[in-house]
Every structure is written in structure tokens, then in C-alpha cells.
Amino acid sequence: MPVRNDLGARTGPRVLLEVRGLTARYGPVVAVRDVDLRVGEGEIVALLGANGAGKTTTLMSIVGLHRARTGTIELDGHEIGHLPPERVVRRGVGLAPEGRRIFAGLTVAENLRLGAAGAGRARDDGRRERLLELFPALRERLRLPAASLSGGEQQQLAIARALMSGPRLLLLDEPTLGLAPKLVRLVFDLIARLRDEEGVTILLVEQNVHQALRSCDRAYLMRVGGIEAEGTPEELRRDRRVQAAYLGVPE
């Protein structure tokens, strides 16, 4: 039973993303089963869980890259589940995908330029300048091939690229995977600043449960394709299943 599944009863921020009854398959294999989740405007929400819990498939379904699925996905009250990824992005969703997936053969500047392609009319409002202030490491490397960046810099590029289109909702898939502890803190600092200074709503997939619970407003815990628990960080820290599985507290 979920810790708490009555978010609707709580007076909170306006709902920006609402996913209902999401089921996603890879052929006969059900990867995500009947998932409901909500992200309020200005929130940082974490999607936690082990490898294979269905977190990435959930994000891929939201942006329209995973098509074999049922259920509804609404952005700001409008159904986006039927749209191809390029249209979802143009509606104001950015994704920094798992494994960064920067264009390694392109320069840093070219990666950012492509990121702005989905901005539509709101293009080039000095956004790149503001992002380069947030990500100073990228400014010095604008003309270099993205392949030459370090792991942490590549992650910053992936996030900056997703922000170039000026999204209302930023989806981050394992942004700290493979990063040194110091860089993990840097990325989480950035996430907090993006929300506080840029007003971006963030849905974050993380395996680093400790760090994620320190930074998010609410979290969902996924297990074998379904939502197992949901609540604020304090509520989840008190949850026995979370303690046993992720926080090293014996059951």
C-alpha cells in the first residue's frame, strides 16, 4: 500500500504533469504497470527505484519516445500522450536522457544550438548566456567537440542542452550516474538553482536515494514496474520498505 496516494486532497501547487494508468511494454514484457504520478508546478519530484524498476521507461513514455503504452499523460491539462517527441518538446518538456547522449562529434556550441531548435518562437532570448552563467565550464569549451568534455561536463551539457528550449518541465534521467561525489553535489546544487532561479519544474530519476531525498519536494518509489510508495522525503524516510531497500536500515 502506498504511503500516501491522496495528493489531490492536499492543497499544493497547480498540477503541471499528470500521468494516469500508464502501462508500457517491450513486446510481451510489461515494463511499467498502471503508474499514476503528478508533478506540481515548481516542484522537484524524484522517481526512485532499482535498475529495471521502470523509471526510464516512464520518462521515455512521457516524452513520446516509447510508443507501446496505454494510459493518459497530460501537460498543463492537455493530453500529450499521442504526440511525437518533437511536439512534446515544443509543448515545453525537456529531457536530459540516461547516459547523457550528447552529440559527441558536434561542438559544445552546436549541441546547445540544437537544444534551442525546439524553442519555436521564443528562440534566442539570451537564454544561452544565462545558462552559460549557470554552467561556466561549458563557456570555456564552446568550440570544442563534446567528446572532449569530462563526464561531469558532459552531464552539464546534457542538462544545459535540454534547457535551451526553455522547458517548463525538465526530466532528468540519472543525472549523477558515474560522477564523483563532488560532482554529484554540484549537479544537485544546479537542480535546486534551476528551480529557484529559473522556475523550472523537475522530475528526476535517481538511484542515489539519499541525495535525491535531500533535494526533492516529493518522491515516488518504483518497484518492478509499479509505484510502491509515494510521499515527502520525511514520509519516505520513515517507510519501512524504503528503509530496508535503500537506506540500509534493517526491516
Task: List residues binding another protein (CB under 8 A).
Answer: 63, 65, 84-86, 89-90, 95, 97, 101, 103-106, 110, 113-115, 117-120, 161-162, 165
Cell digits of residue 235? 514520509
Element (H, E) at 214: helix 209-215
Q: Residue 106 or 132: which CB sits closer to another protein? A: 106
Q: Residue 97 or 233: which CB sits closer to another protein? A: 97
> Is the Cβ–Cβ distance between 190 and 156 less than 8 Å?
yes
Angle between helices 151-163 and 127-134 (to 10 degrees): 150
- What's the min distance (Å) between Cβ of 237 and another protein? 33
Helix%, strand%, coil% for the chain, nearest 5? 40, 25, 35
> Is the Cβ–Cβ distance between 204 and 172 less than 8 Å?
yes
Q: Residue 35 or 63: which CB sits closer to another protein? A: 63
Q: Residue 71 or 145: which CB sits closer to another protein? A: 145
- What's the min distance (Å) between Cβ of 11 and another protein? 34
- What's the min distance (Å) between Cβ of 69 and another protein? 16
User: Concatenated DSSP letters for 102-166?
Assistant: --TTSBHHHHHHHHGGGGGGG--SSHHHHHHHH-HHHHTTTTSBGGGS-HHHHHHHHHHHHHTT-
Q: Residue 74 or 110: which CB sits closer to another protein? A: 110
- What's the min distance (Å) between Cβ of 59 and another protein? 11
> Is the Cβ–Cβ distance between 69 and 110 less than 8 Å?
no
- What's the min distance (Å) between Cβ of 120 and another protein? 8
